[in-house]
């Protein structure tokens, strides 16, 4: 089963069964997210999503909202399955890690358009290829404003087959190419563990 195989009702445990597995499952997801989370500059973090992380989101939503009917769960499946990467894609949640009113006032107006500013830089030197992020279509109209951005965005990176091959070989860095976020421009080189996880998603 691959990272982009859609989740179904059969994948979502009912509440009693989930309570029995929750502690171990949370540890598994936390460990996976540690590898899949990349921080770029002072306030931006991207977490690359997978079937595992999306199942966790649905299970936790169902638990918090006490969802018990198939219809309720199916609605969540329809929402979160759209966030899974298609073949040849990576899908990520882009967070602005803002913890104070002052940070909100500073960064949310400054980083309008950030959802189109993340870049995967694949390879090095003259052979480097740049793959820009694009916002997830169903959420773009809800999260994007002309004068202020949101603290959470869902983005995709669409790679050609040749770019996937280059990604697997490495190196790969993640950057934020935004005029008001110079700390993100140099980018962060993905660790071997992160690149291997994401390579598996792509292939």
Is 135 in contact with 82 (CB distance < 8 Å)? no
CA dist 151 → 94, 100, 143, 172, 174 (Å): 8, 12, 9, 25, 19
113 within 8 A of 107, measured Cβ to Cβ: no
Please state the domain extents for the chain: 9-202
pLDDT of res. 180: 96
Strand partners of residue 45: 39, 95
Cis before residue 155, ω within 30 degrees of 0? no
pLDDT at 141: 58
Q: Which residues pair with 120 in a beta bridge?
A: 131, 174
d(C-alpha 28, C-alpha 164), whole Å: 27
**Which pLDDT tens digit goes with each residue over 144-192?**
667 899 999 999 999 999 999 999 999 999 999 999 999 999 999 999 9
Which pTM does this prediction carry? 0.89
Residues 6+ apart with CB under 8 A from 68: 14, 15
144-174 burial code (b ≥16 CB/10 A, e <16):
beeeebbbebbbbbebeeebbebbbebebbb
86-124 pLDDT tens trace = 889 999 999 999 999 999 999 999 999 999 999 999 998
Helix (H, G, I), strand (E, B) or coil at 157: strand
């Amino acid at each position: 089963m691959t990272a982009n195989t859609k989740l179904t009702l059969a994948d979502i445990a009912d509440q009693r069964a989930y309570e029995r597995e929750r502690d171990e499952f949370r540890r598994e997801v936390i460990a996976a997210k540690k590898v899949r989370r990349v921080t770029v500059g002072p306030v931006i973090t991207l977490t690359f999503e997978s079937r595992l992380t999306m199942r966790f989101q649905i299970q936790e939503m169902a638990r918090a909202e006490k969802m018990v009917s198939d219809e309720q769960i199916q609605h969540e499946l329809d929402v979160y399955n759209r966030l899974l990467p298609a073949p040849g894609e990576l899908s990520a949640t882009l967070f602005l890690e803002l913890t104070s009113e002052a940070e909100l006032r500073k960064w949310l107006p400054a980083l309008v358009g950030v959802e189109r500013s993340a870049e995967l830089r694949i390879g090095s030197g003259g052979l480097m290829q740049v793959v820009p992020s694009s916002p997830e279509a169903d959420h773009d109209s809800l999260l994007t404003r002309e004068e202020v951005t949101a603290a959470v965005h869902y983005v995709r990176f669409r790679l050609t087959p040749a770019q996937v091959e280059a990604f697997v070989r490495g190196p790969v860095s993640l950057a934020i190419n935004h005029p008001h976020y110079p700390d993100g421009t140099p980018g962060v080189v993905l660790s071997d563990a992160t690149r291997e996880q994401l390579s598996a998603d792509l292939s």
